[in-house]
Structure 1
């Protein structure tokens, strides 16, 4: 047996051991069944291990109604086991990843509740802005949780939380966290790129960056208002000249001027 053949055999055996429900050796008479297309009412035949099937009448893509693929939302081998994942499962994977990132951020900061609270507020504002702008909400929310993740290393190495040090120290920490969670490489690269300059916009920026930048700015202004309040006219000048998105400026006004 060649090395390549052995590797294929080992992967196949491992996947079969991980998920016996997908192994035809365990199937019974209910392994093939029919389901009704929700769009046109046509009968669609499913095999037990189908992730989805396309209706031959109207072309609607249907998930297998008799299978619970909840494991695919977190299993790193889901694509190998089930093939191309439908949008519903991809969305579940993203939701789970965002939750895991939030947990890892809190674990990393430990009892530093001020920074945990800051990151959580930035994430909340980022999602509010993202709902009104064309961006990738998953990238935006994950970056929001991790945008200041370099502060601890900056303070440890340089006794400073200066943005220039955060921009250097943040991406390696974020990359380690996201890699450990099995995040997709393109997402990891974009999140780390944003973290690496999140205080300093480039001449041309993505909407994902702009949404994160505005959410962070709103949170920083909120925190400053609690410590040293600024008059409304000064806040308005900041809103007029500093925000990168219309939705961010609108949210800033709503947040900072509410009674």
Structure 2
């Protein structure tokens, strides 16, 4: 069965478009399923600016559907991975909106911190953010507890299954699972990816605690100064927790 989005029987006039060559400015006609085309005037080959590669980033049959994926898409693949992992996290937690909300907030702060501290690790950091507490239901079921050590014990296997489902590369899966397996307990020499996730999680935990029962600002200042790893994390914490 052919993907309806790529089946010409379902196409409309808008599925054929023109784009200006970024090198010479000549008009180049693109069909919807063209990943790249060469400019007839100067020969410059460029990516179809109107093509939606969202499904192709994850689908194992993408090459059969639209041919070889262009380098520009392959470079974005891991950054797009976070969206798939977020969906899988929500599916796993189902109606547990408290855990879904927590993971989403951690991911939001993690992304803000990572863009300044560790942009190269964004895929690992965001996958870790969405999955860091993924073992909490198993911890409750097996140990009748949500204690950090039980979450860390149960989380990696579930995180691995989710990431393998998304066809993430093995090295990314291993690093994310390692972070999930000790995200509350920093080691002596931690990676910047771990530090960003740790800061985002701590900020979120403190924010949630503040909403339930406002704490002493002086205590928060000490935590921000002493317990966070990154300078960007401290800046985010001051904004979120101290309204500075």
TM-score (normalised: structure 1) = 0.74
Partner of 2:76: 91
Q: 1:107-141 CA distances to partner (integer Å, 9 max, x unpaired)?
A: 21222221111111111111111222123222212
Separation in structure 2 between the aligned mates of residue 159 and residue 125 of structure 1, nearest angstrom: 30
1:229 to 195, 214, 222: 214
Higher relative contact order (CA 8 A, sep 6+): 2
For the pair shown, the structure with the greater C-alpha radius of gyration is 1
How far apart are the structure 2 equivalents of 1:147 and 1:67?
34
Q: Distance in 2 between matches of 1:243 and 1:73?
A: 34
Query: Once the 2 structures are TM-superposed, how far is the Cα of residue 248 of structure 1 from its aligned partner?
Result: 0.3
Match of 1:131 in 2: 115
Give the direction of change, closer, same or farther, for the CA distance of 1:174–1:239 in structure 2 (3 Å limit): same
Q: Is the 8 A contact 1:52 1:61 kept in 2?
A: yes
Cα distance, 1:98 vs structure 2: 2.0
1:78: which partner in 2? 62
**Whole-angstrom distance in 2 between the partners of 1:99 and 1:162:** 28
| Aligned Cα root-mean-square deviation (Å) | 3.4
1:165 equivalent among 122, 142, 150: 150
Name the counterpart of 2:15.
Answer: none
> Which stretch of the first structure deviates more once superposed, 229-238 or 181-190?
181-190
What does residue 130 of structure 2 align with? Answer: 145
- Whether 1:238 and 2:227 are equivalent positions in the alignment is no
Cα deviation digits, residues 46-103 of structure 1 (max 9, x gap): 9x98744788xx99761146866554223213357733532245426742x3222222
Task: Indicate how the Cα distance of structure 1 residues 131 and 37 shifts in structure 2: closer, same or farther if over 3 A, else same.
Answer: same
| Aligned positions, number | 231
Q: Are 1:196 and 2:170 matched, yes or no?
A: no
Instruction: Give yes or no for contact 1:79–1:85 (8 Å, CA) kept in 2.
Output: no
Contact preservation (8 Å) 2:134, 2:155: yes
| TM-score between both structures, scaled by the size of structure 2 | 0.78
**Conserved in 2, the CA contact under 8 Å of 1:74 and 1:93?**
no
Deviations 1:187-246 (A, max 9, x none): 222211110111111222222111111000000111121233221111111011101110
Structure-1 separation of matches of 2:230 and 2:97: 29
Distance of aligned partners of 1:112 and 1:50 in 2 relative to their CA distance in 1, 3 Å threshold: closer
CA distance in 1, matches of 2:59, 2:77: 11
* Contact 2:196–2:233 under 8 Å retained in 1: yes
Q: CA deviation at 1:160?
A: 1.4
Structure 2 gaps, min length 5: 7-18
SS for the counterpart of 2:46 is strand
